[in-house]
Structure 1
Amino acid sequence: MDFNILRVARVVMNVTDLSNSRDFYVNALGFIETESDDQHIYLRGLEEHCHHCLVLKKAEKPGVHSIGYKVWHEDDLEKVERLFKKKALYTEWEEAGAQKALGRTLKAADPDGIPLEFFAKMETVERCLQKYDLYKGARMQRIDHVNCMVPDVGKTVAFYNDELGFRCSEYTATADDSIWAAWLHRKPSVHDVAFMNGEGPRLHHIGFWLSDPMSLIHACDVLASMGHADCIERGPGRHGLSNAFFLYIRDPDGNRIELYNGDYLTCDPDFEPVKWDINDPRRQTFWGHKAPDSWFSEATEFIDSVSGKPVAQSKAVLAQQKPDFVT
């Protein structure tokens, strides 16, 4: 491909109560609130110089409007558009300023119907990395990745790898060697986007990078002290896959957030993807703890960019919906 996608850069999603969401994301998790109005809250991590990485949009029910990827140069946008048009996939242009702080943007949808945005420019703001007086909650640093449930992981991975230039760092295979899940990256870490087998497309979670593992523990204490202990869904623990420390939580609307730290470098051209057996108990949690059933069944629907209605979903093609641990 002749374009350069840099990284996943932002997500736009619905919340039903901006005040409750502000308390959760800013006061409990420690995001910086860059800006807000009566319909939106624009959030960023402490080390981020872009205006935002997460847009919370007031709505009657949850839903995800877009996953945004930053590209190297404005010229890359036309090249991405040509690819999507060649594949007979939806594209639409938005001029700079149509969305708060965002430059000229290509809106698109992948073959699963996941709404995507590609942009080269976003307004910049002050980085707060060394403003330690602003560190609170989980001390959120930056957006790291998204994870989506899709009905046919193999087909989705082929599109992102072969057409968009992503690379696979790790993957999960079933007994017949079908791909059950895969972790794909553009930046030199384990993933910008992961895809897992399930009814979809749906957003499973957004992952945010923390500065150290103790920030996950501190986040648990803060959440409990603020009365949000019941939002902790899974962890803290260490993934086998990616080797990262994790904590999965649910916001007041049920959107799943992962607090994440400690994966590894993947930029070498001779790096080979790591294969995991779906039934290896160390895969999802290196220490062997099982994930709850909700982790395999619950996710947030995407909103179609044109109709404003939920994106149609399909059943997963692989019968195995979750691991059956073999010991």
Structure 2
Amino acid sequence: MCFYCALGVGFSSILVGCGEPEEPDRMSETTPAAEPMRAEPVAGAMYRTELSFVGHGAEPSLLHLRFDNRTDSAAIHLRYRGWFGGGEWREILDQADSLPVPRAAWRILPTGPVRIMAGEGGEPSSVILQLSEGSLRLDSRGAIGSWNSRTGQRESLRLAELQDESGAATGLLLARQTARRIDDPPAGGPGQYFMVTDTAGNGLLIMRDGISPDAPVTVWTWFDEMEAEWDNALILALAAADDSPGRWSFELPEAGLLAEIRGVAPALIDTADTRGGFSVFRVEAALVLEGQSWTMRGIGAQEQILE
């Protein structure tokens, strides 16, 4: 039996007690934590949609997009930014605009090079960027799971495809939506997540509510086309080289999965938001399961609270 088949069988036996994979139509449901997104827009609010894509290649394509909508009494002010990650992080989008306040102020709005196709519930099903070097298109290809974070964010994990002038790459897409008053600090502490994939189409998403050793950790696995959520994971920061974004040990005891995650320089560090910045970086994860080892690659991100 091939290694990845054995991997899927091993996880399948564990998943029997974890329930069935989430149905795709769950993505369109409106849950209590998502209600601020659906309410009438109010002045002095900030709505953010964050999209991160990781391809399945040996050197995966990485894309990080942030769409900020800020409202006042007269208009909605857009700041849409995006970066493509390879050996270096390259800015591909920086668009600012002011428009009349729409009814659904939380949605990504068409402006400049940005075009949007919305699915059920208004979530973006496709994001199209008309760039000087050609068109870049990010398509959602189906839901893996969706949830509300402990800090009130609406989050989802999807199958996706990224297309540009050179071709198409399949992978995983993490979507995060938040709404808050502009005067309020971001909810919770400086959160952190890692999303990695391999060439067989498997994926791992690790999300932390903070960076302290006792911060809650939640994990989603996508192995052999089966999704599961885990809440008993352990993650610990390790010593790292001075130029590295970081290094972490990871353990999922119930599944017997171990990993070491290493951040790869250079990191993208952004402090444009005076209340809080963020950093994004490439990561490599060396995993071990049932005596077998393999590597996943992808993206790491960390929010930063600015003084």
TM-score strictly above 0.5: no
Structure with higher strand content? 2
TM-score (norm 2): 0.29
Structure with higher helix content? 1
